[in-house]
Amino acid sequence: MIRQPDPKPDVMARRDSIVAGLRALLPETGLIAEPLRLKPYETDGLSAYRQVPLAVALPETTEQVSAVLRFCHQNGVRVVPRGAGTSLSGGALPMEDAVVVGMMRMNQVLDINYPDRCAIVQAGVTNIGITNAVSADGFFYAPDPSSQLACMIGGNVNMNSGGAHCLKYGVTANNLLGLKIVTIDGEIIDIGGAHLDAAGYDWLGLLTGSEGMLAVVTEITVRILRSPEGARAMLAAFSSNEIAGGAVDAIISSGIIPVALEFMDRPAIHACEAFAHAGYPLDAEAMLIIEVEGSVEEQDRLLAQLSEICQKFDPISLKISQSPEESAAIWKGRKGAFGAVGRISPDYLCMDGTIPTSQLPLVLRRIQEMSDSYGLKVANIFHAGDGNLHPLIMFDANNEASFHAAEDFGADILKLCVEVGGCLTGEHGVGIEKRDLMPVQFHAHELQQQRALKSAFDPDWLLNPSKVFPLLEPEAVELPQAA
């Protein structure tokens, strides 16, 4: 079990009065404190770690969030914000003495404004829920993490989630205009609005990706975009990772920025094909899914150019989708990749480093060597255009040694990402999973500077305090204050 800060004895001792105090602030069913009903909140998408919280609050309004946070602040109670609990880095993992503030009851789309191309939604609206609310009018919300059917926009903001189409449309941070936040002392603050540029400091940018450590986000103003006339995918298979990497370079150099450029290695191809029957080439070592947008004629022209580029890399096969159904089939395998790997191995860790794309062949070769030496299989899926790598490490959760080996293997991959000029996490967040690897990427004083910024928002370190930053040793536990 990963280390958590010790529960505060005074909070544990006052458990009943804290529960009663919170119950008085919330609607009748808005507070959970019964052990059996707390159980579902003990973990998130990183299910290897579990901790039942002290209580779960389910506010329905920003004012209730404010009341809960003010109460927790006055009583020195730690708070862990939670959306749908899909975090793959353990961002919503509770602590024994913490109140989980779950946003799932704040699930309303409050306003849609097409002339200004924005929508105001509550934090508990699912990612796909935004697109669903505007798709009949031809609009969509761009960031599309794989968990988009379940994950909530509040969680996306806190993790700065990405997706397969970031290369063109950017990540969450690039698609937000405003936030309503509640600080730990219960203050409700509006950040930004429906306009593009803020006047003072970029609070919107700092809060996005802050992993629930600075404030609780209750409402979000998102940009909505008009859907393109159409989109179509092609599939290109190659005889080695190096050759496929060369094709990626050549595509980017051509001036074409596909809306998506996904890379799968041999184990990923096989896992996904067995699951989705998408017609993936099983004799290939590496495969690209390339998607373009525009009118039918524009798609034809771009796909023809892309085919010409891929031809120079001696492809094993090239398949241009001829219909929306064929495009859907090509994507089905990729989008079902996690489920597909889950069929081969019930337990896997999904890693999330980013590397300079030129380093891909080297990194995949080193990962294969690690796979051999750890004796654990790995499948690699890669947002090739933006360098975001997702190795899926397969292990057996019933075997503790296998789990620890998988963790070590994952840490080695992330260290390798940093070594070649990349970073520990591209879109999943640091959470608890990569917390102790932060010194690989940052100097001690850099982490201390980031901690001081947290202190400016949360001087008592009550908001999600065990995440992102390595725990300070007891003798050094005095937290930096923002002077």
Partner 1 sequence: MTTEDSIVALVQDAIRTREPLLVQGNGTKAGMLRPVQAARTVSTSGLSGINLYAPKELIISAASGTPLPVIENALAEAGQHLIAEPPDLSDLLGASGKPQTLGGVTATNLSGPRRVAWGAMRDHVMGIRAVTGRAEVIRSGGRVLKNVTGLDLCKLFTGSHGTLGIITEITLKVLPAPEATGTLILPGLDAVVAVQALSAALGSPFGVSGAAWLPPEAVARVPGLAGINGSATLIRIEEFAPSVVYRIGRLKDQFAASNAITLDTPASLAVWKDIRDARPLAAAPEDAVWRVSTRPSSGPGVLEAVRSAGVAGFLDWGGGLAWLAGPADTATHAAVEAAARAAGGVWMLVRAPDTLRATVRVVPDEAAPLARITRGVKAAMDPAGILNPGRLYAGL
Question: What CA dihedral angle connects 331, 332, 333 and 334, to 10 degrees?
Answer: 50
Residue among 10 and 187 whose Cβ is closer to partner 1: 187
Residues 225-244 that bind partner 1 (CB under 8 A): 226-229
DSSP class of residue 388 equals E
Question: Cβ of residue 11: shortest distance to partner 1, in angstroms?
Answer: 25
Least Cβ distance, residue 10 to partner 1 (angstroms) = 26
> What tokens appear for 337 in the block?
């990749």
Touching partner 1, residues 447-466 (CB under 8 A)? 447, 449-450, 452-457, 459
Q: Which residue from 10, 111, 202, 314 is in contact with partner 1, where contact means CB under 8 A?
A: 202
Task: Give bridge partners of residue 121 from the DSSP assignment.
Answer: 109, 220
Minimum Å distance from CB 375 to partner 1? 29
Residue 124: name the closest of 65, 68, 83, 173 by CA.
83
**Closer to partner 1 at the Cβ: 54 or 234?**
234
- Exactly one of 243, 252, 274, 362 binds partner 1 (CB under 8 A); that residue is 252
State yes or no: residue 40 binds partner 1 (CB under 8 A). Answer: no
Of the residues 273, 285, 326, 427, which one makes contact with partner 1 according to CB under 8 A: 427
Q: Are 237 and 330 in contact (CB under 8 A)?
A: no
Stretch that binds partner 1, among 92-100, 201-209, 271-279, 402-410 (CB under 8 A): 201-209
Among 40, 114, 304, 308, binds partner 1 (CB under 8 A): 114
Question: Contacts with partner 1 in 169-198 (CB under 8 A)?
Answer: 170-171, 173-174, 183, 185, 187, 189-191, 193-198
Tokens 């450590």 belong to residue: 213
Closest separation between CB of residue 27 and partner 1, Å?
A: 26
Q: Report d(CA 417, CA 166) in Å as an integer.
A: 20
| Nearer Cβ to partner 1 (12/304) | 304
**Residues in region 59-98 near partner 1 by CB under 8 A:** none
- Site stretch for partner 1 (CB under 8 A), options 6-14, 53-61, 401-409, 437-445: 437-445
Residue 478 sits in the site that holds partner 1 (CB under 8 A): no
Contacts of 292 (CB under 8 A, 6+ apart): 231, 232, 256, 258, 259, 298, 299, 302, 303, 306
Q: Which stretch binds partner 1 (CB under 8 A): 96-104, 232-240, 268-276, 443-451?
A: 443-451
Candidates 428, 461, 463, 465: give the one binding partner 1 (CB under 8 A): 428
Which residue blocks in 278-399 are alpha helix, DSSP H? Answer: 296-311, 324-335, 337-344, 360-374
Cβ neighbours, 10 Å, residue 226: 12
Least separation, in Å, of the C-beta of 161 and partner 1? 8
DSSP 412-435: HHHHHHHHTT-BS-SSS--TTTSG
Return the residues of window 351-380 that contact partner 1 according to CB under 8 A: 354-358
- 324-363 in b/e form (b: 16+ CB < 10 A) is eebbebbbbbbbbbbebbbebbebbbbbbbbbebebbbeb
Triad 104, 108, 113: Cα angle to 5°: 145
Structure tokens at 333: 């395998």
What is the CB neighbour count within 10 angstroms for residue 399? 12
112 binds partner 1 (CB under 8 A): no
Binder among 210, 241, 345, 380 for partner 1 (CB under 8 A): 210
Please identify which residue in 17, 74, 113, 311 interacts with partner 1, judged by CB under 8 A.
Answer: 113
| Residue type at 404 in one-letter notation | H
Considering the complex, state which of residue 320 and residue 384 has its C-beta at the smaller distance from partner 1: 384
**Segment 293-332, which members bind partner 1 (CB under 8 A)?**
294-295, 297-298, 301-302
The Cα 376–Cα 387 span in angstroms is 24
